[in-house]
Structures are given as structure tokens and as C-alpha cells.
A and B are shown apart, each in its own frame.
Chain A
Amino acid sequence: MGISPIEYHSWKGERTAQNLRLYVIARSVFRHKIRSTGVIILLILGFLLVHTLSLLLIILVSHDRLEASDMSSYLGSGLFATFAMLLAAVVTSDLISEDLANSSFVLYFSRALKVRDYLAGKAAGALLVMSLLCAFPPVLVALVSIATQTGGDYAYGFGVLGKTALVGALVTLFFVPFGLMISSFTKRKSYAAVGTFMSFFGLAVVSGIFYEFDHGWRVISPIDALSILSTWFLEGDVPGYVDKGALVLIVASLIIVPAAVVYFRLTRQVVGK
């Protein structure tokens, strides 16, 4: 304890940031993730392979206005959704599994933190990272396209820009709840990452098998579902064999059901019974 031991001093300040707990967790996740080698590699690769080519085409090829079909072929290609899926698998893998492995839930929940806020904070951090690949670059591409267009129809271009932002937000959101759910099932982040990827891959395989008998099964594949949804948003139509209701139901259930599952799992973990 040294020659002059340090005494305990009460803290005389006020705790005023109770409402910022969600933000604190989200910021911590974001900071941690953007320093992660795997995430950096995926972001760079994704940006180069998915966005840079479209950006170059837009700059080099003369265009009258930003066309919805151009954005649709760019965002609905499947490559965009595939990279989003890979990034989500890496980003969400350790968000809950690491706390499970370290038994560190108790550090969070011995404080006045709700399960809801903990999960929202983790998800918000992951969504911020996802948006670096899925939301901001498409909007940037659309903005560059508008800035370099030769015609004067800006209103249409901004309409497409809005739809692009919507698609970007949807792709950002789509994979995160599922990744969180898988992360809450295991204490190993590698299992969580592979589990998330393989779950989506498994659905794609099932979709591919049944597609031979009925093309409507294509919506079971998360990547295809997102591609079709992007086309629907941007161009206003879906292929004739796709049931719009089934498409919405599958996309919604892949977001809502995992979110509910992870919430109830964590509530059980925290409350202990």
C-alpha cells in the first residue's frame, strides 16, 4: 500500500448521464469494431468490390439523371447483400457471446441497466458499423450521380436517392438481429460468426433446392429476398412469381423473431431463472 496509503474519498458529483447508457454501450461497440482487423478488411473489400465500381461507372459514363434501374442493378446484385451478411456475421459474433463467456452480464446488470437498453446499445453499435458499408456508400454513390448528371431533373434523382437510403437502412438492419440471436446461443465468437453465416447460407441452399419446383421459394433466401426487396423499392415491382406478402413476411420475421428471441434469452439469463 506504499508509504502514504491513499484513503477512500466519496464522490461529490452528480450522476447525470443515466439516459445515455444506450449511447455509451453503442459507442463502445463501434470503437471496438472499427479497430478490429476482420471488420476493417471486410469494409475495405466491400467498398472496393461493391461500391467503387459503381462509383467509377457513374463518374465516367455520361448520364442524364440518376436512374432507379441503375441503383437497383447496383444494390440488388446480390454481391451487396452478401457482403452485408459477411460483415454482420463478423460484427455481431462477439457482442453477446463474449459477455456470456466472461460472465460479464453481472457487471452490466448489477447497475440500473435494463436488458432492453443493453441490447439496444449493442445493436446500435453494430448498426453503426454496418451502415459504413450498407447505408452511407450507396447514398454517396447516388449523390455523386446526381452531382455529375447532365440533365436538369433533380427531383427524380432525389426521389431515387431517398429510396436508396431506405434500401441501405433496410440492409443495415436486416442481418443484425439474427446475428445477435446466434451470438446469444454460444460463448464462442467464432461459432457465432460461422453460425450466422451458415444459417443464411442454409436458407439460401433450401431456397435453391425448392426454386426448381416453384420460383416463389426464392424469397426464402435472405440474399435473394433483399435483392428482390431492393428492386421493389427502387423500381416499384417484383418478379411475377414472387408473392409480395410472403416476401414482406419473411423479411419482417427474420428481423422481429430473432430480436424477440435474444431479448427473452437475455432476460432469462439476467434474472437467473
Chain B
Amino acid sequence: MLMSFQCLAWPMAGEIAARKETGFGANSIHISARNVAVSFGSVTALDGFTADIPRGIVGLLGPNGAGKSTFIKASLGLLTLDKGTISVGGLDSQTQSLRIRDNVGYMPEHDCLIPSVNAVELVSYLAMISGMVSLDAMQRSHEVLDFVGIGEERYRPIKSYSTGMKQKAKLAQAIVHDPKLLFLDEPTSGMDPQGREELLSLVKKMASSEKTIVVSSHILQDVERICDYAVIIDSGKLVRSGEMKTLLAGEEGVRSLTVRGSVTALARYVRALEQVCQIVDRKDEVGEQVTLLIRGCEDGNKVFRLAAENGVQVRSLHPERLDLEEVFLRAFRGGGRDGH
């Protein structure tokens, strides 16, 4: 019943044409920054920042003050660039910012909701400012509030909301006009683990509707869980970027080896192993277990034979896998081992 009503109320005619006209066609969404500099007085927020952001869920990573929020605001045309260009969906952020903003949803990091109104009033009001007629705005507001999980609380003033509910209300206002590009600035900031879980799951669900979602965060686990691509910023500069699976894949030819045994046996084994392959890294775990990163031992049989000869147990041997925290730390160390 609801679906059929929606079909009647919201015909598709014109939508595709309108999006093509504004440069936000299905395949055109991406952000391209070239040598962007933004400063606030003596503070340089972006310093020659160059990056390409493809479609999908993209993580914008960096420590506090790295320039993530500045980049988002500059992409929306809310900041004047000192130099460089940002192109969003083929539109220039400085000269065509209104056309960009017409197709973008933005969930700001800081508290920005109007406390005296309730969520329905706020979201429908902002939907109308996005160009929806009153009836559509009200229907769509309820739909997105259902989606983000704000139930009957939607009729309570926003000032009575918890942090998690405020974050959800911010997300609802950002998606009410169904933008093709969504900027989420620290979406899980201040939320408890369950709230974070819910919000990340909402983001994943939205991505299935072919949206490009840029998630700015310093919570690496969040980004690792939901993003397809990551851009790491520090001090206003691009540190590293790439597909998540590429970033998380370890260096080719490097394997992680965990062995267990007595201290003397382990020492003997490590010395023997050094004769046949290169030990890149070593982590001792409570004296009787060692995890080694080894290079040049493509033939695993040598590893097992030496273990048997030296009286230690091989607990695991697999290609190196990183987590985003390690990628992040290596990026900040200036490339990590051998530039990886």
C-alpha cells in the first residue's frame, strides 16, 4: 500500500535529466582536488592538497586538525581557496557551489541542530529549503526518520535528545533530499558502541543506493569497516590514498610467522631461520611465543623443517595482513618498511 502510494506521489520523470544537467549523472560523481591551499590567518589548513575521490564509501582519515573538515567545507564552496581547484561531480567548487550544494548532503561534526523544534519540523523544513514541496517534504521526513531509527521521539524537541539521537537527526537532514553525494563529518563522534554500530550500518545501507559517501573520521575501526577507499590527510597534505583492500594488503612476499617453544629453542630457531630468509620484524609474546615477519621464504617447507629440527611449534604462517591503524601509523612514519 505504502509502496504504491509512493510510486504515485513521486514519479521519476525529470529526475535523471535534472541530474545530468547539474553534472551529477550516475557515473560522474567524484571529487578531484588539485593543489588546494586554504589558510585561516597564519594557520594553514590545507597545503597543496591533491587527491581524487572515487565513487563508493570513501574514508577521509587524519588526526584532529589535519584538514578533513576544511576539505569538506571547501568542496561545498563554503570556504574560499587561496589556490588550487576542487571539482565535485565535474563542477567547480568556487564558481558553481550552489549547483554542487543542490546535490550534496552534509552532516556536520559539531552540534548544529535547532534545539527548540522537533525532528519532524526540522527535517521537513530543511527538505523544503532543499526545494521539496511541503507535502513531499513531510512524507520524506518521516521516511528518513524511520530509516535512521528515530521513532516517536521525533515529536520531542531536539534539545531533549541524546548525543546518538542528535547524530541520527543530523544524518536524517543530510539525506532527506536524497543527495547523490554525502559528506559525513565525524558521524560517530560521541556515540556509545551500540550507537556507533547502528550509524555505521545505516551508512552501509545507504551506499547500496549508489551514493558516494565521504566519511571523515579519526576512528580508524569505523572507516576500516565500512569504506571501500581511504584518503589519509595530515597537516593539510595528502599522506596516502588507495583502495582499502590494497592499503590493508601487506607487502608482497612478506609472511607472518608465529612460533611457540622454550626461550632457548626459540632463540636457536630464529638464528637458523635468519640463514634461509630475511626477518623483517619480530614481536616477542610472553617469552614463549614469537611472531616474525619474514621475507624470502616462499617455500614454507623450510620453515616447518627448521621448526621441527629446533623443537618449536609453528602456530601460524600466512601472508602479512595489516589493519588500518598500522597503515595509518606507517603513513605517518613516512612510508614505513621499505616505503610500504
Contact = CB atoms under 8 A, between A and B. Distances in A.
Is A bound to B? yes
Interface of A: 1-2, 6-18, 20-21, 24-25, 28, 98-99, 102-104, 106-114, 270-273
Interface in B103-135: 104-106, 108, 110-115, 125-126, 128-133
Nearest to A14: B14
A113 B78 CA distance: 11
A17 B132 contact: yes
B112 A107 contact: yes
A12 B7 contact: yes
Interface residues of B, number: 55
B205 A17 contact: no
B329 interface: no
Given A6-B146, A12-B12, A106-B106, A28 B209 contact: no
Given A13-B136, A106-B106, A110-B78, A8 B130 contact: no
Contacts of A8: 147, 175, 202, 205-206, 208-209
B237 to A, nearest CB: 20
Interface in B1-28: 6-7, 9-15, 18
B177 A15 contact: yes
B112 A104 contact: yes
A6 B114 CA distance: 26
Given A12-B15, A103-B112, A109-B101, 15 more contacts: A1-B149, A1-B201, A11-B10, A11-B178, A13-B10, A14-B14, A18-B102, A102-B114, A104-B113, A110-B105, A111-B101, A111-B177, A112-B131, A272-B78, A273-B79
A106 B287 CA distance: 55
A254 B104 CA distance: 39
B98 to A, nearest CB: 4
Given A106-B106, A110-B106, A1 B198 contact: yes
| Top 10 A-B pairs, shortest CB-CB distance | A13-B10, A15-B131, A11-B178, A110-B106, A112-B102, A18-B131, A12-B10, A24-B128, A112-B98, A112-B101
B232 interface: no
Contacts of B105: 110
A112 to B, nearest CB: 4
B80 interface: yes
A109 B125 CA distance: 14
24 contacts: A2-B149, A6-B147, A6-B149, A7-B147, A8-B175, A8-B208, A9-B6, A11-B177, A14-B14, A15-B132, A16-B133, A18-B102, A20-B128, A24-B125, A98-B114, A102-B115, A107-B113, A108-B129, A110-B104, A110-B105, A111-B126, A112-B99, A112-B101, A273-B40
A111 B73 contact: no
Contacts of A25: 129
A20 B110 CA distance: 28
A1 B111 CA distance: 24
Given A14-B15, A110-B108, A114-B98, A270 B78 contact: yes
B101 A110 contact: yes
Nearest to B176: A11
Nearest to B73: A272
A30 B74 CA distance: 33
B76 interface: yes
B112 A102 contact: yes
Contacts of B205: 7-8
A24 B136 CA distance: 14
Given A21-B129, A271-B79, A273-B79, A9 B201 contact: no
B140 A11 contact: yes
B130 A111 contact: yes
A109 B78 contact: yes
A13 B112 contact: no
A270 B129 CA distance: 16
A215 to B, nearest CB: 47
A258 to B, nearest CB: 24
Contact of B131 (A2, A6, A16): A16
B128 A103 contact: no
B167 interface: no
Given A8-B209, A271-B78, A111 B102 contact: yes
Residue among A9, A25, A110, A271 with the most chain B CB within 10 A?
Answer: A110
Residue among A25, A99, A106 with the most chain B CB within 10 A?
Answer: A106
B143 interface: yes
A15 B130 contact: yes
B129 A113 contact: yes
Contacts of B11: 12-14
Contacts of B10: 11-14
Contacts of B85: none
A103 B110 CA distance: 8
B217 interface: no
Interface string B78-91: 11100000000000
A4 B177 CA distance: 24
A263 B217 CA distance: 34
B178 A14 contact: no
A124 to B, nearest CB: 14
B125 A9 contact: no
Given A6-B146, A17-B131, A110 B114 contact: no
B209 to A, nearest CB: 5
Contacts of A110: 76, 78, 101, 104-106, 108
Contacts of A14: 10-11, 13-15, 18
A102 B111 contact: yes
